A and B are shown apart, each in its own frame.
Chain A
Amino acid sequence: MKLPVFEEIETNDYSIGQLYKTFKKASIGEIPSYICIDMDNPKLIEEALDNIKNALDNLDCSKHFPYPFYVVSPILQDYPGLNVVDSIRQLPKHFFKKPKKLKPKEQSLLNKTAILNEKVKNLNITEKLEYIQSQKENQKKLFLLTRETSFYERVMMGIRDRESSDE
């Protein structure tokens, strides 16, 4: 397994077919990676982002686990479904390391990383994330209900304390 440090994916062609091939070759998801979009036209950037998202969906690749995939675009940062940042400096520093020849202890740690990586990849993360999204509404409902009951309990406790202190 390669060291899990950031790798830039370089491409000039943002068509869905070419992106699919490039992403498959670059083993997206097995190492943290990012792609820079240097275009000026927001419409073209949006088209490129649509193609990137579709290519990732076709590869059945999670954009977050086990390793994240980022799009660097100084112009358009708001795009649902992809992690978009405006510069390389905003990428997580944890994955920026200088690759070097590993010592035996480091190599054995890397072997363990490879095993854990495979374990996470086999978990069908996309389905799990969709399940978490579907539970969002119910969890919010439960939170609001508990907050309301907690408020009523505090008011009643306040009234009882006041009554007992008056006595």
Chain B
Amino acid sequence: MNKKTDPKKIKEIKEIKGMKGFEDVVDLIDPDKYRRRLAEKKAFNDNYEMYTFLERENERLALVDRFFANQVKNQEAYPQVEGLITLQKERKELLKDELIEMLASIDSPLNDGLKHMFNKLFITGKRE
């Protein structure tokens, strides 16, 4: 029997991953050659995988180093948060005063809205 059409070989090929859907042409394939090609492809891709992993790892460590050695260190040496909180508190008070002044005037949008709501809620004039 021809090696390529041997039922045992066909069964072997069918069991190889990735051969689903190729049952009709399975007798044209040499399983050993296919397996060798798969192994070579995997070896080729593996090389880049480790190299990429180590490159990414180095980038990660460099970022961690920069964060703790520079950024956190600067923050510790020159803290700005307290000063910014004081500034923001002052600004908030000024804005609140300005806003209240704007909204308290007779023709302000707030008073217009309240006037509109009041007129809708209470019926003016007598019902017949």
Q: A149 touching B95 by the CB < 8 A rule?
A: yes
By a CB distance below 8 angstroms, the chain A residues around B51 are 105-106, 109
By a CB distance below 8 angstroms, the chain A residues around B84 are 142
A154 to chain B, nearest CB (A): 11
How far, in whole Å, are A66 and B69 apart by their CA atoms in the complex?
13
Q: Does B88 contact A (CB under 8 A)?
A: yes
Q: A131 touching B72 by the CB < 8 A rule?
A: yes
Binary flags per residue of A66-93, CB closer than 8 Å to B gives 1, else 0:
1000000000000000000000000000
By a CB distance below 8 angstroms, the chain B residues around A128 are 68, 72
Q: Does A135 contact B (CB under 8 A)?
A: yes
Q: B61 touching A116 by the CB < 8 A rule?
A: yes
Q: A123 touching B50 by the CB < 8 A rule?
A: no
A58 to chain B, nearest CB (A): 22
Q: B69 touching A159 by the CB < 8 A rule?
A: no
When the two chains form the complex, which single residue of B64, B72, B75, B82 contacts A66, counting CB atoms closer than 8 Å? B64
Q: Decide: A145 near B92, CB < 8 A? Known: A106-B54, A156-B98, A159-B102.
A: yes
Binary flags per residue of A139-157, CB closer than 8 Å to B gives 1, else 0:
1011001101100110110
When the two chains form the complex, which single residue of B49, B82, B103 contacts A138, counting CB atoms closer than 8 Å? B82
Q: Does B47 contact A (CB under 8 A)?
A: yes
- Find residues 96-119 in chain A having any chain B CB closer than 8 Å to their own CB: 97-98, 100, 102-103, 105-106, 109-110, 112-113, 116-117, 119
By a CB distance below 8 angstroms, the chain B residues around A159 are 102-103, 108-109
> What does DSSP make chain B's interface, helix, strand, loop or mixed?
helix
By a CB distance below 8 angstroms, the chain B residues around A105 are 51
Q: Does A94 contact B (CB under 8 A)?
A: yes
Which of A98, A120, A155 has the most chain B CB within a 10 Å cutoff? A120
Q: B64 touching A156 by the CB < 8 A rule?
A: no
How far, in whole Å, are A110 and B49 apart by their CA atoms in the complex?
14
Q: Does A65 contact B (CB under 8 A)?
A: yes
Q: Does A132 contact B (CB under 8 A)?
A: yes
The 8 closest A-B pairs by CB, nearest first: A116-B61, A109-B54, A145-B88, A152-B95, A138-B81, A123-B68, A128-B68, A149-B92
Binding site for A on B (CB under 8 A): 46-47, 49-51, 53-58, 61-62, 64-65, 68-69, 72, 75-76, 79, 81-82, 84-85, 88-89, 91-92, 95-96, 98-99, 102-103, 108-109
> Can you give 24 A-B contacts (C-beta < 8 A)?
A102-B50, A103-B47, A106-B50, A109-B54, A113-B54, A113-B58, A116-B61, A117-B61, A119-B69, A120-B65, A123-B65, A125-B68, A128-B68, A131-B75, A135-B75, A135-B81, A138-B81, A149-B91, A156-B95, A156-B98, A156-B99, A156-B102, A159-B108, A159-B109
